[in-house]
Amino acid sequence: MSPLGNIIRKEVKELLTPATFLPIVIMAIVFGSMGNAIGGIEEEMKEKPVIGLINVDNDRFSTLATSILNENAEVVFNSSDIMDKQKGLETLREENGVALIVIQKNFTENILKGVPGEFEVYWVMKGAGITDSISSSIVEDLISLVNTNITKELISTNTSVNATTALTPTFRNETTYFKGKELHGLSPSVISSILSSQSTLVPIIMMMIIIVSGGMVISSMALEKENKTLETLLTLPVKRTSIVAGKIIASAIIGLFLAVIYMLGLGYWMQSMQVTSNVNLADYNLVLSGGDLLLIGLSVFVTLLAALSLCMLLGTFARNYKSAQTLTFPVTLLALLPMFMIMFKDFDTMPLVVKVLLFCIPFSHPMMAPRALLFGDYPLVVSGIVYVSIFALIMISLSVWVFKTDRIITGSTNRFKK
């Protein structure tokens, strides 16, 4: 074999390890699942939205509107009596519908007079994730289609209305029902955009803290082993719990410090990207109280503790700095997964299996906490804090236990097993 071939063979042998391939394989699976999820979104976009209709007007343009809506949506409730509104909403909720559209009295007459006709839209919003607002977007598109058709009708029949009304013949008076709140004047898309701009920062920062601090803990353990300093440390008069706690606390301090720097940069960036909203959330009682902020802080703290304890446990398996890089992968994955899941779907609208999975991933709790608290879902946040605290305690106990066993020195109790 030529010298070049000899070197290539040796290098390939060295690189061809499960540690090299496993992260890539898992990443491919994750991307594949995300591709499926996006495929699912496309499917959902093709589906007809479920709506209810109350046509009080029963005239030329309202008939046009109902025919378009009937053709392009699955209408589960139809009425011409305004008193049926409550009944319509109940039917909509039962049928997993998205909106009850009420075409008000004098709709046609007003348009012909040059005054935009009124659509009263009662949205039933299920979640604030990207995929949760698909149906409502389709209904918004259908209302735009109705507008276009009325405009065409006005122009083709040479009706003498002012240009503004001809181009924008209707307006929407919206009310959204979301997580037990009745929000007047807000559509699901507006609520989604407000909530996402509010709650995107927390998952990203949380993910960064976990990955950065977790990486530090694992690397610290790996370096202790690689630099052969661990053996000395373990024979000094210091409790194993102090060694574990010391490493976790130091990484948490650095992690939080880095997070503050990161948050400042990201905050300015997001501020510059954000479209100024005229909606004052305080008007809708959508603000976090001091107690809520305290709960978020507690959730972040216990999650950081859990993440670092898990990393400490993983770090005990690190043989050297190179193997530490591989060990950070599961932590990175566990931090990225809930971030994406929460961005796509609201916890409430997820299938039960996904809900259980998300709840079990300790890092997802501080990511979900701000939105949950905004809508008063205290049981989810408090149970999350309790769960993550228990998880952290178990991880710390396991780390201390590993520190007390031979595994910390030998890497495995069966090192010499044939």
- Which among 64-72, 122-130, 280-288, 405-413 is the span making contact with another protein, rule CB under 8 A? 405-413
* Closest by Cα among 74, 78, 77, 76 to 142: 74
- Which among 118-126, 187-195, 278-286, 404-412 is the span making contact with another protein, rule CB under 8 A? 404-412
Per rule CB under 8 A, is residue 238 in the interface with another protein? yes
* Residue tagged 């591709």 (tokens): 35
Which string of x and - marks every residue 196-235 that binds another protein (by CB under 8 A)?
-------------------------------xxx-xx-xx
Per rule CB under 8 A, is residue 8 in the interface with another protein? no
Per rule CB under 8 A, is residue 409 in the interface with another protein? yes
The whole-angstrom separation of Cα 102 and Cα 62 is 10
Alpha-carbon Rg for the chain in angstroms: 29
Q: Measured from the CB atom, is 13 or 228 closer to another protein?
A: 228
The whole-angstrom separation of Cα 385 and Cα 280 is 30
* Closest by Cα among 366, 360, 185 to 292: 366
Binding-site size for another protein (CB under 8 A) equals: 21
- Is the distance from CB of 320 to CB of 222 less than 8 angstroms? yes
Burial string for 137-173 (b: 16+ CB within 10 Å, else e) reads bbbbebbeebbebbbebbeeeeeebeeebbeebbeee
Instruction: List all residues 6 or more positions away from 37 whose beta carbon is below 8 Å from its beta carbon.
Output: 131, 344
Which string of x and - marks every residue 277-316 that binds another protein (by CB under 8 A)?
----------------------------------------
SS3 183: strand
Compute the 3-state secondary structure of the chain and give helix, strand, coil in percent, each to the nearest 5: 70, 10, 20
Q: Measured from the CB atom, is 101 or 408 closer to another protein?
A: 408
Per rule CB under 8 A, is residue 352 in the interface with another protein? no
The whole-angstrom separation of Cα 382 and Cα 388 is 10
CB of 304 to another protein, least distance (A): 24
Per rule CB under 8 A, is residue 410 in the interface with another protein? yes
Q: Measured from the CB atom, is 158 or 232 closer to another protein?
A: 232
* Closest by Cα among 81, 52, 85 to 69: 52
Q: Measured from the CB atom, is 229 or 274 closer to another protein?
A: 229
CB of 404 to another protein, least distance (A): 8
Q: Measured from the CB atom, is 33 or 242 closer to another protein?
A: 242
What is the number of other CB atoms lying within 10 angstroms of the CB of residue 128?
27
Per rule CB under 8 A, is residue 406 in the interface with another protein? yes
Q: Measured from the CB atom, is 157 or 235 closer to another protein?
A: 235
CB of 418 to another protein, least distance (A): 6
Q: Measured from the CB atom, is 236 or 282 closer to another protein?
A: 236
The whole-angstrom separation of Cα 129 and Cα 191 is 10
Per rule CB under 8 A, is residue 414 in the interface with another protein? yes
- Is the distance from CB of 255 to CB of 213 less than 8 angstroms? yes
Per rule CB under 8 A, is residue 320 in the interface with another protein? no
- Is the distance from CB of 248 to CB of 305 less than 8 angstroms? yes
Q: Measured from the CB atom, is 94 or 406 closer to another protein?
A: 406
Q: Which residues would be at the binding site for another protein (CB under 8 A)? A: 227-229, 231-232, 234-239, 405-406, 409-410, 413-418
